Amino acid sequence: MNVAEITSEVLISRLAEWGVDTVFGLPGDGINGIMEGLRRNADKVRFVLVHHEEAAAFMACAYAKATGKIGVCLATSGPGGIHLANGLYDAKLDHAPVLAITGMQESSVLGTNYQQEVDLDRLFQDVAVYNQVVMNPAQLPTLVDVAIRTAYARRGVAHLTVPNDIQIAPADKDPYATVAPVKPPATKPIYLSPAVRPRDADLRAAADVLNAGTKVAILAGIGARGAGAAVEQAADVLGAPIIKTLSGKMVVPDDSPYVTGGLGLLGTAPSEDLIEDADTLLMLGTNFPYTKFLPEAGQAKVVQIDIEPARVGTRIPTDVPLVGDVGATLEALIPLLTRKDRKHLEKYQDKVRDWRDNMAALASPSRTPIAPQFLAHCLDRLATDDAVLTCDSGTIATWAARHWNIRGNREFYLSGTLASMAPGLPYAVAIQHAYPGRQVIAFVGDGGFAMLMAEFHTATRYGLPVKVVINNNNALGQILWEQMVLGYPEHGVRFGEPVPDYAAWARGCGGFGVHIEKPDDLPDALTEAFAHPGPALVDVAVDPNEPPLPGKVSYEQAKKFAASWLHGQPHKAAIATTLFRDKIQQLKD
Ligand SMILES: Cc1ncc(C[n+]2csc(CCOP(=O)(O)OP(=O)(O)O)c2C)c(N)n1
Ligand SMILES: [Mg+2]
């Protein structure tokens, strides 16, 4: 039997022509026509069935971040679409090109408060850079082309929502009379990114500022990705240490002689010192939000390179804003720079050595309960040189920032600007799907894991050998410390008893699962999990009273911390031992 082509087939086959090979989603009565389009194109586009649409959106976001190609997610009308929202905001805030496709009630009932009727186009008005209801089969495939091109060009979320009747309408149907001179446009599935390089005069002005500086600092963000060699070359000529934002961690290896580590609450003391000390700052592809950790206005001359004109100069008064691709711009800028002596750089290399010694002391295996730093250190030591680490928001991000080292071809992804809980596991599933041969590890909090833990079953169903390592403090650890730093005793942040058996969940899904409480058992458990051919989970009970201390504790922070104690902070003894023991450990080593 010859099956007539339906509009959804045009939608999906156009995605394939754009090079889309995967759609992450979950079916529903609002997208049964689109599912049929996927079924008919199953040889070209794989449908990955998830357990929660939020995870599908995180997966599309991670797929885009890791491959550079558009990530696509699919959800049904009403609740399905609503579930996508958090993952789509993650893509928006981290500038990842994502296409969200949703269903909508039949066009004949729209506006009648029909079952599940939610105006998803209105709901996504804020998150989307392109947002359209498909009203007529004749709009496809053009709207797919415009949506994807816009998502790439504006680095954000495009949304197409398709009513049920349009999804299964004959693809060649144009049911309405057109009014002259209208004719649907014919378009092609192609986008080529422009090469952007600043004007020569602006490059000269930037070079003048950088050449005049005596203490230059570089702050590199994810926008410098792919330009790591040029960033190090600039650091070499300028004798300038490199600070990396957390999102930009993989831009330059952590063992680079120029790197001082991260900045901000989960950064390093040498990076903070450097910012206080610098007379010139070169910002590369970063929109680092924590202005409190940037130089005071007037302290340093600033040159900032960013691809987005509106972003340059939003955080700090910028003397020379350069709009351009970081790699292309540095290539043009470096020949204009004069070489500086090594004094400033060497001072920070000494500080970094001391800082690393302190961090190593905190990662001691002799601390019980297991120190989260020891866990992160073991991960770092035992993972491959091309491992991809995904991470949740929470104290885990601090441990990963400080103890997970970028070396070889390692990569690192997290929800950078939205800083959402729970992306670690869905990110890992999507990245493993994109790179089946690579070691992909999700380093997650117990709070974040519990939110989307069903996606471990997605990994086992698809045979995706992701490794999940839970930094299990049985608490919303990050918030516990935030409350204390505000001067308030903790409240509503510990999960208490009974403690769930996440390892049993992993085994129940058909994967490897183990629960670890003793430091001595940890390296072997990780080794076994990493060697396991399928998905594996290591649930590690870590010390819940281990504070993710900032690189430099300020007097104000210490005072507030003390206030929370006076106001009745529970677990004081355990926390005191932790803090005190750290001091002893640092003094001893
Ligand atoms: C969706 C969402 N809800 C709440 C928060 C606020 N928040 C940030 S970190 C955190 C604690 C996370 O707990 P867990 O995943 O166990 O990590 P931990 O801090 O304990 O290492 C919370 C509640 C958030 N960022 N995202
Ligand atoms: Mg936790």
Question: Do residues 439 and 564 share a domain?
Answer: yes
Q: Which ligand is nearest to the CA of 451?
A: 1
CA distance 379 to 439: 12
3 state DSSP class of 302? strand
Contact 230, 326 (CB under 8 A): yes
For range 406-426, the mean pLDDT:
98
For range 146-166, the mean pLDDT:
98
Residue 244 phi, psi dihedral angles, 5° rounding: -115, 135
| pLDDT at position 584 over 50 | no
In a domain, 176, yes or no: no
Contact 16, 44 (CB under 8 A): yes
Q: Which ligand is nearest to the CA of 375?
A: 1
Buried b (16+ CB within 10 A) or exposed e, 27-56: bbebbebbbbbbebbeeebebbebbbbbbb
**394 C-beta closer than 6 A to ligand 1:** yes
**420 C-beta closer than 6 A to ligand 1:** yes
**423 C-beta closer than 6 A to ligand 1:** no
Please choose from 421, 471, 546 the residue to mutate so as to test ligand 1's pocket, defined by most ligand atoms within 8 A of CB: 421
- Decide which of 147, 167, 187 is a domain's last residue: 167
pLDDT digits (tens, 9 = 90+) for 51-80: 999 999 999 999 999 999 999 999 999 999
Cα Rg of the chain, angstroms: 26
In a domain, 313, yes or no: yes
Total of domains in the chain: 3
Contact 97, 155 (CB under 8 A): yes
In a domain, 271, yes or no: yes
3 state DSSP class of 547? coil
In a domain, 306, yes or no: yes
In a domain, 448, yes or no: yes
CA distance 419 to 397: 10
Question: Do residues 319 and 438 share a domain?
Answer: no
Question: Do residues 101 and 156 share a domain?
Answer: yes
Could you tell me what percent of the chain has a pLDDT over 70? Answer: 97
Question: Which run of H or E residues covers position 27?
Answer: none
**419 C-beta closer than 6 A to ligand 1:** yes
Question: Do residues 329 and 368 share a domain?
Answer: no
Q: Please give the distance, rounded to the nearest whole angstrom, from the Cα atom of residue 373 to the centre of ligand 2.
A: 14
| pLDDT at position 578 over 70 | no
Question: Do residues 47 and 73 share a domain?
Answer: yes
- Decide which of 299, 318, 350 is a domain's last residue: 350
In a domain, 260, yes or no: yes
What residue numbers bound the domain in which 155 lies? 7-167
What pLDDT does 282 receive?
98
**543 C-beta closer than 6 A to ligand 1:** no
Q: Which amino acid is residue 389, in one-letter code? A: L
Angle at which helix 142-153 crosses helix 7-17, to 10 degrees, equals 40
For range 343-366, the mean pLDDT:
94
- Decide which of 167, 189, 218 is a domain's last residue: 167
Distances (CA, A) of 227 to 142, 326, 330, 413, 543: 34, 7, 8, 17, 38
Handedness of CA 478, 98, 56, 502 (dihedral sign): negative
The Cβ-side half-sphere exposure at 568, using a 13 Å CA radius, reads 1
Residues near ion ligand 2 (CB < 5 Å) are: 445-447, 473, 475, 477
CA distance 456 to 60: 17
CA distance 475 to 575: 14
**54 C-beta closer than 6 A to ligand 1:** no
| pLDDT at position 586 over 90 | no
The Cβ-side half-sphere exposure at 433, using a 13 Å CA radius, reads 29
In a domain, 163, yes or no: yes
**548 C-beta closer than 6 A to ligand 1:** no
Is beta strand 411-414 parallel, antiparallel or unpaired with respect to 388-391? Answer: parallel
Q: Please give the distance, rounded to the nearest whole angstrom, from the Cα atom of residue 448 to the centre of ligand 1.
A: 6
What pLDDT does 559 receive?
73
**489 C-beta closer than 6 A to ligand 1:** no
**395 C-beta closer than 6 A to ligand 1:** yes
What pLDDT does 580 receive?
55
Q: Which ligand is nearest to the CA of 493?
A: 1
Extended strands (E) in 500-587: 512-516, 536-541
**476 C-beta closer than 6 A to ligand 1:** yes
The CATH number of residue 314's host domain is: 3.40.50.1220
Contact 89, 156 (CB under 8 A): no
Q: Please give the distance, rounded to the nearest whole angstrom, from the Cα atom of residue 476 to the centre of ligand 1.
A: 6
**What does the block give as tokens for 64?**
């885009």
Q: What is the DSSP string of 383-398?
A: S-TT-EEEE-SSHHHH
Q: Please give the distance, rounded to the nearest whole angstrom, from the Cα atom of residue 398 to the centre of ligand 1.
A: 12
Burial label for 121, CB within 10 Å (0-12, 13-18, 19+), is middle
| pLDDT at position 1 over 50 | no
The CATH number of residue 95's host domain is: 3.40.50.970
Q: Which ligand is nearest to the CA of 85?
A: 1
In a domain, 402, yes or no: yes
**137 C-beta closer than 6 A to ligand 1:** no
What pLDDT does 4 receive?
85
Among the ranges given (111-115, 286-290, 549-553), the one the predictor scored with the smallest mean pLDDT: 549-553
What pLDDT does 585 receive?
54
Task: Please give the torsion angle defined by the CA atoms of residues 60, 65, 70 and 76, in that order, rounded to the nearest 10 degrees.
Answer: 10
Please choose from 479, 480, 494, 545 the residue to mutate so as to test ligand 1's pocket, defined by most ligand atoms within 8 A of CB: 479
What pLDDT does 547 receive?
87
Angle at 236 between CA 232 and CA 237, to 5 degrees: 120
For range 363-367, the mean pLDDT:
91
